[in-house]
Structure 1
Amino acid sequence: MLTIHADSRGHAVLVRGDRIEAVGPLEELAAAHPHARVRSWPGILTPGFVNPHGTELLEEAYHPDPREAEALGTEPLTGDALTDLALDDARWGGSARRGVQRMFAHGTVAAACAPLRNRAVRDAVLRTGLELLPRGPVSAGVPALDPLASALPPTTAPAPAPGSPARFAVFDVHDEAELAERGAATCVATVVAGRLVFRRR
C-alpha cells in the first residue's frame, strides 16, 4: 500500500511498506500516484529525533502503568525510587513499551544506547521498531523524553530520501525555530518502519 505523508508546507514523502519511495511536493507525488492514500498533517515534516539517553530512559527508569498513576505518578521513576518496586520481567517489559511510546510522542525515531542488558527491556524495545544506535557508556546532558530538553544539541535521523527507511516525524509548528522554542511535545505524528506509531488524538 502506498501512503503519502504531507505537511503544511506541501513537503511530502511517498511510503511503500517500510521504505520511502519518493520525496517531493505533495502535488507532484499525488499526481504521479493517484491511488496512494494521503495523510495531511499540520506543521513540518522532519527526519525525527535521536534521543541520546536510550539506556537511562528504557533500562534505568520505570514508566508507570496508567493504572499505577495514583500510587506512582505519571513521570518516569529512577534511582532510589526504583528500589522499592518489585520489577519482574513483565513489569520491565511493560515499562519499556510505555517508554518507547512516550519517545514516539516526542518525535523520536531512534535512541542511542549502550547494549541493553535487561532481556525483557531489550525484547520489548526491539518489537516496537525504535532504532537503537550504539553509543559510549556515558552520555552527557539530562535524560529527557523530549530530546530538545536534554541540554545537548539535538540530533536527528538522516533526512528522508528514496530508498531509505520510512522513519520521520511531524511537528505542529511553523518552522525549526518554533520547534526549538516550543519543544518536541508539539509532535503530531511519528512514523517508524512505515508504520504510524504515534498520532496525536
Structure 2
Amino acid sequence: MLTLHTADFLVTGPGAAPVPGGAVLVEGDRIAGVGPYEALAERYPHARTRRWPGLLTPGLAVRGAEELLERTYYPDDPYEVAELGVDPITGAEALAALGLTEARWGNSARRATQKLLSRGVVAVSGRLRVPAVRTAVSRSGLALLPGATAAPDAGTAVPAPSLDPFAGRAAAAEAFHGPLERGGPARFAAFDVPDLDALLARGATTCVATVIGGRLLHRRR
C-alpha cells in the first residue's frame, strides 16, 4: 500500500530548504517519492495519507550505544520503580548491586529502544557485546551503526552518551541519519515544532511519529 506522510514543512536533509506542505511517499520499506503533498496526492490518488503537525525530517541517530544500552539500566515501570526509582541507573557499583542477568539487560535495552523511538531515533552507533541487547536493538527496528574510530582532537570535550540525539550538537540537522530521497529507506520522524531551531531548542521529545522501514513504530497518542 502507498502511504503519503505529510507535515507543515518537510526537511529532506542537512542544508535542504524546508518544503511547505511537503510529503514523503512510502511503498513498502522504501521512499517512492518526495515533494509537495498536492503534487504527490494528485499523481497517486489512491495513496493513504497520514498528516503530522510541524516538521517531517530524516530520522535521528544517537551515539554511544554501549553506554546507553549495556552500561545503563532502565527500571521496569511499574514493577521496579518503587524500589529503584524512575531514573536510569549507571555506575559500576550501582549496576553490580542489581545482580543483572543477560535477560534483564535485554529487557532494559528494550525499554531504552522505546524511549529512543519516541524521540525520533532510527539508529544508534557503537559496539554491543551482550547478545540479548543486540537482539533487542534488532527487533526494535533501530539500525546499529559502527562506532566512531577516529580519536577526538586533544582538548576536545566528548559529550556523554545520551538518549537525547541533540546532545552535544550545534544544529538539529547534525543528528539526521541519511537524506530523504526517492529509492532510499523509509525512515523518518515528525516533530511538533515549526522549524529546526525550535526542534533543537525544544528537543526530540516533541516527536509525534517515527517511521522505520515504512512502519509506524512510534506515534504519540
Q: TM-score, normalised by structure 1?
A: 0.93
**Aligned residue number for residue 144 of structure 1:** 162
Shift of 1:63: 1.3
Shift of 1:24: 0.8
State the AA in 2 paired with 1:94: N
**2:218 pairs with 1:198:** yes
State the AA in 1 paired with 2:56: L
1:157-176 paired onto structure 2 within 5 Å? 157-176=177-196
C-alpha contact (below 8 Å) 2:117/2:210 kept by paired residues: yes
**Aligned residue number for residue 106 of structure 1:** 119
**Aligned residue number for residue 155 of structure 2:** none
C-alpha contact (below 8 Å) 2:64/2:147 kept by paired residues: no
1:85-96 paired onto structure 2 within 5 Å? 85-96=98-109
**Aligned residue number for residue 21 of structure 1:** 32
More displaced stretch, 105-114 vs 153-162:
153-162
What do the CA deviations read for 1:86-134 (whole angstroms, capped 9, x no partner)? 32222111111111110111111111112x1101101111111101111
Shift of 1:152: 3.9
More displaced stretch, 176-185 vs 69-78:
69-78
1:60-71 paired onto structure 2 within 5 Å? 60-66=71-77, 67-71=79-83
Q: Distance in 2 between matches of 1:183 and 1:159?
A: 20
Unaligned runs of 5+ in 2: 10-20, 153-157
What do the CA deviations read for 1:4-35 (whole angstroms, capped 9, x no partner)? 11112311101111111111111111111111
Shift of 1:77: 1.2
Q: Distance in 1 between matches of 2:33 and 2:185?
A: 11
**Aligned residue number for residue 17 of structure 2:** none
Shift of 1:136: 3.4
> What percentage of aligned pairs have identical amino acids?
52
Q: TM-score, normalised by structure 2?
A: 0.85
C-alpha contact (below 8 Å) 1:92/1:120 kept by paired residues: yes
For 1:196, what is the secondary structure of its paired residue?
A: strand
Unaligned runs of 5+ in 1: none
Q: Which runs of 4+ in 1 moved over 6 A?
A: none
For 1:83, what is the secondary structure of its paired residue?
A: helix
C-alpha contact (below 8 Å) 2:189/2:210 kept by paired residues: yes
State the AA in 1 paired with 2:41: A
For 2:98, what is the secondary structure of its paired residue?
A: coil
What do the CA deviations read for 1:67-90 (whole angstroms, capped 9, x no partner)? 212222222211132111132222
C-alpha contact (below 8 Å) 1:141/1:152 kept by paired residues: no
Q: Distance in 2 between matches of 1:187 and 1:152?
A: 17
C-alpha contact (below 8 Å) 2:59/2:176 kept by paired residues: yes
